[in-house]
Structures are given as structure tokens and as C-alpha cells.
């Protein structure tokens, strides 16, 4: 009889435990943040003839303290959709070189679905992808370099929660709409001839001259160049035949061409 009396209690306990686990699970799901694109920005896309599902490009300029989101227009070229002030980045002009140097990266990177962090302690975040193959070939080290919410930075780009809400939303929408990866280009400044001359005596100038090749390719074509992070250098091409090629294939082709 005691076992029969205990059975309803055991069943009830199992039900309560299941309910508790369900509550934890649903609570975690409720905490997943997705970002949101404002009605004003969606209306702007329409006015600029940018399909909402079209690919995007992100550009960062340290000296001007601005993050730009560019979006593909219906004719295939990219136009500037939004500019967001950067609240804070750490370090100075120049690339990140080692873990703990509190320097925000410069260079060409890619964001994919695995880069997104909806559970960030800084509201929302995505990983820039530092170090890439080029960085590693130079012995550069670092990890968890992000664009994130808030206004404090230790090697990252902090955008404030409100701005990050929309930037993250734009990134997520592009990835969910089929863009395999989103280029993110981080520059020390707008790479005009005037700015290059102004910083001509900076020891980072050889690195910046290489970045300028990619900067100029986009300015001339209106389409982000295919960028390969190769050992020792970045390689750029605007040839559509190379757009789906791997970095390794582009690096190998560039090395073969240079050897001729």
C-alpha cells in the first residue's frame, strides 16, 4: 500500500521536474536577442532601391569613429545605407599585434552565422574574425575581438546598445536571407590621398598602403572586392570568376602569377 500511495507523489514529482526544466529552457529561449531594424531604416532601403534581403558590407573607420553599413542596390552596386558613430574603441591607429595590447584590429574580415553572439554581456555582439590567415602569418595574436553594444572597449568596437540593436539586426537579416558571409573592413581612417599624405611618416604606412588597394577597388567598382587573407599579404580581385574561390586558391594563383 505504501508503494501505491507513493506512486502519485512520484508521478507528480516527475511532472514538476519536467515543468521546471521546461521553464528553464523557455527562459533561455526568451533571452535570445535578435536585434531589430527600425521602420525608418526599412523605409530608407525602399527609397534607395535596396531589397531588404540584399547583401551588406560593413566598413569601420577609427579616426572618424564611424561604422558604415552598405547594402546592395537592385542594380548590383552597393550604396551607403547607414552610418553609426562608434562610442568607443581601444588603442590607437594601427593593427592589433598581440593578445592583451588593447588594440582594435584593422584589416579585412568575414562575419558568418557562427560569429553572432546574442548572449553577449554587452547586449549583442558579433566576432570580427581576428586573427585571420594574414594576421597569423605575422604572428599576431588575439581572441574574441567584437563589435558589440555598450560603450566600453578592450580591443573591440563598442557601439552603444541602441545602435548595436539595429546593426546586429541588419547582419542577422542578411545572413538569414542567404548571404554566406559578410565582409567587414576596418580602416585606420578614410584612405584618401590627403589622409595618406597626412600620415606618411607613420611606421604602419606599408600596411595601410596594402589596405588602400582594397579600399580603392570598392570605390572604383561599387562592389566589394573578393579579398583573400594570404600569408604575408592580402590579395584583392574584382574578377567575378574568383568570387566563389577559396582563399587558398586565390593565394596560390597570386603566388604563381608573381613568380612569372
The residues assigned a catalytic role are 148, 156
Would you say 108 and 214 are in contact if contact means Cβ atoms under 8 Å apart? yes
The sheet with strand 88-89 has its strands ordered as 88-89, 157-158, 146-148, 125-127, 116-117
**49-61 burial code (b ≥16 CB/10 A, e <16):** ebeeebbbbbbbb
Dihedral sign computed on CA atoms, order 57, 206, 254, 130: negative
Residue whose grid cell is 558590407: 57
Contact predicate 164/35, CB 8 Å: yes
Rounded to an integer, what is the distance from CA 151 to the centroid of its chain?
Answer: 17
What 8-state DSSP symbol labels residue 242? G
Amino acid at each position: 500500500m505504501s508503494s501505491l500511495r507513493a506512486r502519485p507523489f512520484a508521478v507528480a514529482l516527475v511532472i514538476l521536474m519536467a515543468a521546471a526544466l521546461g521553464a528553464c529552457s523557455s527562459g533561455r529561449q526568451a533571452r535570445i536577442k535578435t536585434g531589430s531594424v527600425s521602420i525608418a531604416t526599412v523605409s530608407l532601403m525602399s527609397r534607395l532601391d535596396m531589397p531588404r534581403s540584399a547583401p551588406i558590407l560593413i566598413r569601420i573607420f577609427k579616426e572618424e569613429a564611424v561604422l558604415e553599413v552598405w547594402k546592395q542596390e537592385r542594380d548590383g552596386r552597393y550604396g551607403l545605407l547607414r552610418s553609426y558613430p562608434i562610442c568607443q574603441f581601444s588603442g590607437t591607429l594601427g593593427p592589433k599585434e598581440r593578445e592583451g595590447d588593447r588594440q582594435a584590429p584593422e584589416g579585412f574580415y568575414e562575419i558568418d552565422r557562427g560569429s553572432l553572439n546574442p548572449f553577449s554581456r554587452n547586449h549583442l555582439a558579433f566576432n570580427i574574425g581576428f586573427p585571420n590567415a594574414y594576421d597569423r602569418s605575422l604572428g599576431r595574436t588575439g581572441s574574441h575581438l567584437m563589435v558589440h553594444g555598450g560603450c566600453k572597449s578592450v580591443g573591440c568596437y563598442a557601439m552603444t546598445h541602441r545602435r548595436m540593436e539595429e546593426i546586429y539586426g541588419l547582419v542577422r537579416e542578411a545572413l538569414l536571407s542567404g548571404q554566406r558571409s559578410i565582409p567587414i573592413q576596418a580602416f585606420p581612417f578614410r584612405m584618401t590621398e590627403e589622409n595618406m599624405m597626412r600620415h606618411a611618416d607613420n611606421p604602419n604606412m606599408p600596411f595601410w598602403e596594402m589596405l588602400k588597394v582594397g579600399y580603392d577597388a570598392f570605390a572604383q567598382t561599387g562592389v566589394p572586392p573578393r579579398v583573400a587573407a594570404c600569408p604575408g599579404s592580402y590579395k584583392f580581385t574584382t574578377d567575378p570568376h574568383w568570387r566563389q574561390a577559396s582563399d587558398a586558391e586565390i593565394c596560390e594563383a597570386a603566388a604563381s602569377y608573381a613568380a612569372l
